[in-house]
Amino acid sequence: MPIAIKDKLEDILPYLSDVSTGADTAKEELGFWPSSAYQTFAATGKLLVATTSTVGGAETYAGHLMFGGLFPQAKIFQLFVAPAFRGHGIAQQLVACLKKRLTAEHWLSIVANVADDLAANSAWNRMGFRVIRTKAGGATRKRRINVRGLDLETPSLLTMMVASSKSGELRFAERYFQRPIYLFDLNVLFDVVRKRPRSDAATKVVWAGMANNIRLMVAEEFAKELLRTSKDPANDPVLAFASRAASLPQPPEKDLRPLVSKLAPLIFPERHQQGVLTEQDRSDLKHIATAIHHRAAGFITSENAILRARLHLLEVWNLDVIGVEEFAELVEALREEDDGAVAEVSSGVLRARRNLPEDLPKAQGFLGAMTASPAFIEEALACQGSQANWLLVTDDRERPLGFAKWGVYGGARRTADVYLAVDEVNPASEPILDHLLDAIPRELSAAGPTLVRLNIPSGQVETRQSALALGFHPPIGAGDGHLTLQRLALGKLVTPENWQAIRQSLLSAASLSLPLRIPTIDEANRQVLLKTEDREMALSLPELESELSPVLFLFHGRGGVIVPIRAHFARDLIGANPQLSMLAPPEAILRRERVYISAPRTVGRMKPGTPMLFYESKKGGGRGCIFAVARITGSRIVTKTDALEKVLRRGVLDQRSLEERSVGRKVTETSFDNIFVLKSPVPLKRLRELGCADSSNLVSAKVISFEKLIEVIKEGRVDG
């Protein structure tokens, strides 16, 4: 049976519908791809189609291979042979064609994911793909996935480095030493924010910027183009994103102009020949020129003209063009594994990876470096309970900076043992501790009141001091130097309606008795009497909320204040915006106590202890609703200069935005903690019905009564 392998766009186009139809018949094995993806892979030369000739000479689709990858490791996304043509070696011929091309381009290896229950594993074995590792598949079928790999017969780096430049080997060798920078264009961004067909894939692309082995950036032209097209530059969240995005500067004019002249006939041949390049065309050319000038590894786009020029851009300038769907598939695994906080601090980007088995040996080495005792290390790594979890915090060079592991024990009396250590010498230790000491009790208390027992290695002075400041204390009868600290985490908004239920849960969970009757705010501001099995404690309201954090006690008479916040600030300050966060958020997202800035005239409304309701304004595409509540811990009028340092660590404004907060030189600086996100954000229309908003549309801080506060909390469904 004569088999032909086609790899050119014009030869593949007649068979694209056959490719899509064939793949759809094997979704279980190949996964689902939209039909547009096959067009993109064909345009970039990453789709091979096998055909066979019939007796009359007509060619018939027989199978296909779709591939991609981040240099130097390629990945086979789909290998499919039509049932009528199986058993004729078509899969082997497709793979052989791919191997020949990738070897010529100096890729080092190919990988493919194959479910371990498929008969196709034997065929992959015969083609030389060995199992490198296995990983969990989807939750529905509970499969194991064999990650199979094949090393290519690529010349060694040494051979390539000494080869003559005429052969092109030296040029290809440079790809191994490029910084893995990937630029993306406006089409990718608009795919996300405008909910276009590639929205899901584009979302995954932007997630790649969170991964340490991929640097996702934009060209300087990116922001310029947005500024030219923005209808409201001062209130444009997309433009605000562009101003914060890591960007590569535009090449000098003497380098830019000749490069653009070479690219124009390649990418836009017809319009260039007719002399009718649009402003958008010229902008696209500057994007590509910037990527080439800075030796970026790749350019991510959904622009067909750029996709079609991929092979030429790769051969001449070593710039790989990658479609949105392909890049999304490549980084999806990174997103699935990244179940922790990501934030940008002054010393770089922090990542908190969760429950990765390969991180436990790293944690063991880290604990040893922190001079933890062998007994502490053994107990920490052995900690299980009914819910064993761990986090490894690393910097952007994959260096461990902090580790926490915890397990839950008991039934009604939930107890969690937490083992925690942080590199206290590192400048990022303070926000790491702030985050872990708040986030872990918050997570644990979501299932009910939990006694959190914190175990700290000897010598971790900063860690101990931070824990004490956040309400942890030695067990009763233990000395001040005891290495185990503890506190009870309640994790509720307490209202008159759920007072008795909360009271009973604390009694069952920790033998802690609250007053039979819910106090008024005046009574609570004096002291609240708590009883345990062996002692009584009289605590002020701030002390009570610190002792049981996270918690807010909405006692009778405790009113609130509604404060406005723009959507992009809400995402970075509270972390509650459902839209995609396109960058590592600022340090504030890690902090237990954060800072809100408003005009000086609002200081009288921002009283310490007041519940603070965050209203996301409609400007800049906001939702127009109250979405979170927190507790004000302090408020003062300060100069903008004095506010800046604190805002940079615990807030979300830059210097320009800070200047816009008020006309004069001063602002109100409000600190807050104990944040709760509403399950059902309360829209402006409903707020008006409740009497919480008027015609001013909540453009400034507005004080509301206790009764109205309770109504909003009920609407938001966070009353326990």
CATH number at residue 432: 3.40.630.30
Q: Which of 54, 85, 108 is the last residue of a domain?
A: 108
624 pLDDT more than 60: yes
DSSP string, 346-357: TTEEEEEEES-T
The pLDDT of residue 653 is above 50: yes
pLDDT band at 342 (very low <50, low <70, confident <90, very high): low
What is the per-residue pLDDT for 177?
43
Angle separating helix axes 220-229 and 279-293, nearest 10 degrees: 160
Confidence (pLDDT) at 629: 95
Residue 162 included in any domain: no
312 and 346: one domain? no
* Res 599 pLDDT > 60: yes
Lowest mean pLDDT among 216-220, 294-298, 444-448: 216-220
Residues 345 and 481 in one domain: yes
What CA–CA distance (Å, rounded) separates 203 from 134?
A: 26
Range of the domain at 295: 178-333
Asked if pLDDT for residue 209 goes beyond 60, the answer is: no
The candidate with the shortest Cα–Cα distance to 62, out of 28, 38, 86, is 86
Strands 611-616 and 560-565 come out as parallel
Looking at residue 628, which CATH number applies to its domain? 2.30.130.30
Which pLDDT belongs to residue 355? Answer: 82
**534-558 pLDDT per residue, tens:** 788 888 898 899 889 999 999 999 9
Provide the domain count of the chain.
5
**Angle formed at CA 579 by CA 300 and CA 597, multiple of 5 degrees:** 115
pLDDT at residue 335 tops 70: no
Q: Are residues 257 and 314 in the same domain?
A: yes
Confidence check: pLDDT of 257 > 80: yes
Same domain for 709 and 578: yes
pLDDT (mean) for 484-490: 91
Query: How large a percentage of the chain has pLDDT more than 70?
Result: 79
459 with 508, same domain: the answer is no
User: Do 355 and 304 have their domain in common?
Assistant: no
* pTM tops 0.75: no
How many helices (H) and strands (E) would you count in the chain?
A: 30, 29
Residue 600 lies in a domain: yes
Q: Indicate whether 208 pLDDT > 70.
A: no
Q: Look up the CATH number of the domain holding residue 242.
A: 3.40.50.1010
Residue 256 domain-assigned (yes or no):
yes
Please tell me the predicted confidence (pLDDT) of residue 64: 96
The single-letter DSSP state of residue 15 is G
Is residue 424 assigned to a domain?
Answer: yes
In this prediction, residue 385 carries a pLDDT of 66
Strand pairing category for 109-115 and 144-151? antiparallel
Q: Are residues 32 and 98 both part of a single domain?
A: yes
210 closest CA partner among 576, 590, 580, 570: 580
Q: Is 115 a member of any domain?
A: no
**Average pLDDT value for residue range 291-301:** 86
Whole-number Å distance between alpha carbons of 18 and 24:
10
The verdict on 187 and 313 lying in the same domain is yes
Beta bridge partners of 66: 47, 78
Asked if 219 and 329 sit in the same domain, the reply is: yes
Q: How far apart are CA 711 and CA 718, in angstroms?
A: 11
Same domain, 261 and 314: yes
Same domain, 293 and 429: no
HSE on the CB side for 430, CA within 13 Å? 10
How many Cα atoms occupy the beta-carbon half-sphere of 300 within 13 Å? 34
Which whole-number Å values give the CA distances from 497 to 454, 501, 502, 555, 678, in the listed order? 32, 9, 10, 11, 17
Higher-confidence position of 246 and 184: 184
pLDDT at 636 over 60: yes
Lowest-confidence pick of 162-166, 310-314, 354-358: 162-166
Check whether residue 529 and residue 434 sit in a common domain.
Answer: no
Within 10 angstroms of residue 463's Cβ, the number of other Cβ atoms is 24
